């Protein structure tokens, strides 16, 4: 009998969640946040660097991102977050994306980004 979980790869698996789970050729990243209390620009830059790192561990990269879900604590920060995003996302490889305003885990977090990518 085969193990049903043998085709699931968990990257940086912790007690509560994994940083990334790969299954069926798709990498599902956990929501990423930057250092609490930093600017929207700094947090978004840190988040996208972490996304790059996790995608590399999964054997893929930002040119294969299928979908991004972005939460900002205040939509007034939308343009500031987008300035960093636009510099990061590769031209002609832009994913489907949704952005919304939401309370995040702590008021010190201004941005959270969740990414799904093809491996």
Task: Give the C-alpha separation, 91 to 67, whole Å.
Answer: 15
What's the length of the chain?
119
C-alpha gyration radius of the chain: 15
Helix (H) or strand (E) holding 38: none
Angstrom distance (rounded) from CA 112 to CA 17: 16
pLDDT, tens only, 59-88? 999 999 999 999 999 999 999 999 999 999
User: What's the predicted TM-score (pTM) here?
Assistant: 0.93
Res 30 pLDDT > 50: yes
Q: What pLDDT score was predicted for residue 39?
A: 97
- Contact indicator for 42, 72 with CB cutoff of 8 Å: no
Residue 1 reports pLDDT greater than 60: no
Please state the rounded mean pLDDT for residues 91-107. Answer: 96
Percent of the chain with pLDDT over 70: 96
- Please tell me the CATH code under which domain 9-118 is placed: 3.30.1330.40
SS3 breakdown of the chain: % helix, strand, coil, rounded to 5?
30, 35, 40
DSSP state of 83: H
- State the average pLDDT for the chain: 95
Assess whether pLDDT exceeds 70 at residue 2: no
């Amino acid at each position: 009998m085969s193990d049903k979980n043998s085709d699931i790869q968990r990257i940086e698996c912790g007690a509560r969640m994994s940083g990334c789970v790969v299954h069926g050729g798709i990498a599902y990243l956990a929501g990423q946040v930057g250092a609490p209390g930093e600017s929207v620009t700094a947090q978004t830059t840190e988040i996208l660097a972490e996304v790059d790192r996790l995608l590399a561990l999964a054997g893929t990269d930002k040119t294969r991102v299928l979908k991004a879900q972005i939460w900002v604590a205040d939509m007034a920060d939308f343009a500031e977050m987008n300035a960093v995003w636009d510099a990061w996302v590769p031209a002609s490889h832009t994913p489907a994306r949704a952005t919304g305003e939401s309370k995040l885990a702590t008021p010190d977090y201004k941005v959270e980004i969740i990414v799904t990518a093809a491996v």
